Amino acid sequence: MTLPVGSPQPIDARTRMPLRAGPALAWAGQGSSMSNPMPEVEGAYVRFQVNRDVFSEAVSFVVKLLPQRNPQPILAGVLIEASETGLSLSAFDYEASARTTIDATVDEPGTILVHGRLLSDIASRLPNAPIQITKDPEDGVVLTCGSARFTLSSMPVEEYPAIPEVSGESGLVPGEDFATAIAQVAFAASRDDVTPVLTGVQLEVNGNRLSLVATDRYRVALREIPWDGGSGASDESTTALVPARTLTEVGKTFAHSGDISIAFSGSGDREIIAFTAGNKTVTSLLIKGNFPPVRRLFPEQNDHHAVVNTADLAEAVRRVALVLDRSAPLRFTFTSESVSMDASGTEQARATESVDSTLSGGDDVTLGLNPQYLLESLGAVRSEFARVTFTSSENANKLSPVLITPQTSVDKGGEDSFKYLLQPNLLLR
């Protein structure tokens, strides 16, 4: 069963090759505003004092989304704007931005641009004392904390790009649920930049539900969580394809932040999404292109399934897979009382192991699965038991994917908010 991606419309010219060959799943075939350019700072002097821990955490937050290597040195900077209300710290690499505000005692307002990761490293190792930062034309940017003193180069503020401002349609999601959903889905996105449309996580708003979907053509992960669109909620669905890397950082950052506001904004090539919780905001440029309609791959109902203890199966897979050649599938045989694993590799090594399971609704099943893909799904299930459902196809000559879902007990199914579809591998023996 092949799953054509269609004709994606990537964000840039990087899309130039077809997807790699191999077993693959098959499928059939909002306003944005950018702030005005930043004006040149009036006055050469800046001076403020700030709590060490608060400042260190703020700098660490804004630099997380910056790439390790940036072709434009100016984008490695952190922009610090000091005003009567405190400090605003931000970073932007044209695709993602992070901004936060903190309290500070500002003696001389103004704007500073300094190397972000260096500043973060310094701030995290300072002694327990207030931080004072000054900027003047002769000495550059001087940071003092206790007896520690650092002099940093000042980068040209006027060359830094304007930070995106998002003011479009928005809604709320529970922070913990959102972070969990991201962790359950983002790993299934492709890491191959050749096809950018598959490197993102598709967010889909329908009524009071937010769905997160990711695929690399070999598996599909889906999770649904509550969505509160407020009084102005629209009946029309809204979609946004967010880079998986950015979304993963959002999940880690906002996991314990209460409700998260998600705003969709922009049009054309500048569609943007913003995530805000408390005094922190992350924006991301959306990936352009048509995300494949993978929902239709999930079976509506199928009684042919096995139930197995999640932890027991995961540990057995890790052990047996030790002898496998790299990228080779692991052989599974599901029977009425157990699931057995069989692997052989180089150096005439071989391993077998069985785990208790129950099989219902059909005959014994033998198939090959990518052990790493299976382990990632078992980690995402987050329940004591996992149900492995064997889907069927009208074409007997093609392998049908397996569906993995949570199961609260041997006899009782779990919530259907998480689903993971995995394409089996062809066994050569």
Tokens 């075939």 belong to which residue? 29
Mean pLDDT of 318-328: 90
Tokens of 349: 């090594």
Give residues with Cβ within 8 angstroms of 349, minimum separation 6: 323
Q: How sure is the predictor about 69, in pLDDT bands with cuts at 50, 70 and 90?
A: confident
Helix (H) or strand (E) holding 354: strand 350-360
Q: What is the pLDDT of residues 126-141, one digit of tens each?
A: 999 999 999 988 878 9
Sign of the four-CA dihedral 23, 203, 94, 53: negative
Q: What is the pLDDT of residues 400-428, one digit of tens each?
A: 899 999 998 888 877 789 999 999 987 76
Residue 162 pLDDT: 92
| Predicted TM-score (pTM) of this structure | 0.85
Give residues with Cβ within 8 angstroms of 216, minimum separation 6: 188, 189, 190, 191, 192, 198
Strands (E), 116-195: 131-136, 140-145, 148-152, 164-166, 169-174
Helices (H), 353-417: 371-381
Sorted by where each starts, the structural domains of the chain and their CATH numbers stand as 46-159 (3.10.150.10), 172-261+283-295 (3.10.150.10), 299-422 (3.10.150.10)
The side-by-side arrangement of strands in the sheet containing 330-334 is 238-243, 200-206, 209-215, 219-226, 418-422, 402-407, 385-390, 305-309, 350-360, 338-344, 330-334, 365-369
Tokens of 23: 């077993």
Tokens of 69: 């290597």
Please give the angle made by the CA atoms of 302, 306 and 310, to the nearest 5 degrees.
Answer: 125
The DSSP call for residue 44 is S
Give residues with Cβ within 8 angstroms of 55, minimum separation 6: 87, 102, 104, 123, 131
Q: For the chain, how long is the longest CA-to-CA vector?
A: 81
Which residue type is seen at 129? A
Helices (H), 239-337: 244-254, 310-320
Average pLDDT, the chain: 86
Tokens 């995300």 belong to which residue? 291
Q: Is the pLDDT of residue 15 over 60?
A: no
Is 57 buried (19+), middle (13-18) or exposed (0-12) by CB count in 10 A? middle
Please give the angle made by the CA atoms of 180, 186 and 192, to the nearest 5 degrees.
Answer: 170
Contact 278, 210 (CB under 8 A): no
Tokens 């932040």 belong to which residue? 257
Closest CA to 327 of 375, 379, 373, 361: 373
Name the 3-class secondary structure at 81. strand
Q: What is the pLDDT of residues 239-289, one digit of tens each?
A: 999 999 999 999 999 998 889 999 988 666 688 999 999 999 999 999 999
Residue 157 pLDDT: 94
Q: What is the pLDDT of residues 143-173, one digit of tens each?
A: 999 999 999 999 999 999 999 888 777 899 9
Q: Is the pLDDT of residue 90 over 90?
A: yes
Residue 1 pLDDT: 41
Q: How sure is the predictor about 24, in pLDDT bands with cuts at 50, 70 and 90?
A: low
> Measured between alpha carbons, how far is 105 from 23 in angstroms, rounded to an integer?
60
pLDDT > 90 fraction of the chain, expressed in percent and rounded? 67
